[in-house]
Structure 1
């Protein structure tokens, strides 16, 4: 199906999200923070259908990652995840470059449905 880069500093959640999305046939790569994710994006020349990233992370947060990724790869579809209301408010300023912001906690079923919807929208 689609190639997704999953970025979250919590290893258990990152793995759970990647495994859940793999159930739908997605090929998921994982990164522990924004800096590692940006390195992967550059190494892979942005060949991902979706960048799915947490907002609150050390080194480079998801918002800084989204801005850098979109500048480098304008066609990249980006979806954010957060468990913090103030981070969700920060993400509102990114509506032009972010397709969706998912609030934690969420079920894997909800995540799978939302990711599918975002990817379908991006293909048009």
Structure 2
């Protein structure tokens, strides 16, 4: 199964997503914001298959995280999450970096399917 890094500032959402991904046997690491997630990526030399990140977070949002992580870790698949239409619009134009944007709220089944699709598709950019 895959190694997945979740960056989400809302602890209940993070726990829900972790539980959903662990059902499928994925190894999950958590970060409370984009800055922590980027530090984890750098400390592990990008040893993850997927970065699942909320867009709206303190310190470093998910779009800034994607922009920082993608060039450093070209094999990392990036999947964004948001509950805000304006944040979803901000993600337009990032198709070369980001696999998709998952709209909140989502069900356990929804997030599992989106993650499976993203992992099956692989990185959105050349390695």
- The alignment's C-alpha RMSD in Å is 0.9
TM-score (norm 1): 0.97
Q: Distance in 2 between the 1:26 and 1:75 partners?
A: 17
Task: Report the alpha carbon displacement of residue 4 of structure 1 after superposing the two structures with TM.
Answer: 0.2
1:44 counterpart residue number? 44
How many residues are treated as equivalent by the alignment? 123
Contact kept? 2:5, 2:31, Cα under 8 Å: yes
Q: Distance in 2 between the 1:62 and 1:93 partners?
A: 14
1:57 counterpart residue number? 57
Q: Comparing both structures, which one devotes a greater share of its residues to helix?
A: 1
Which one is further off, 114-123 or 76-85?
Answer: 114-123
Which consecutive segments of 4 or more residues in structure 1 shift more than 3 A?
none
Q: Structure 1: 5+ residue runs without aligned partners?
A: none
TM-score (norm 2): 0.94
Alignment map for 1:7-26 (pairs within 5 Å): 7-26=7-26
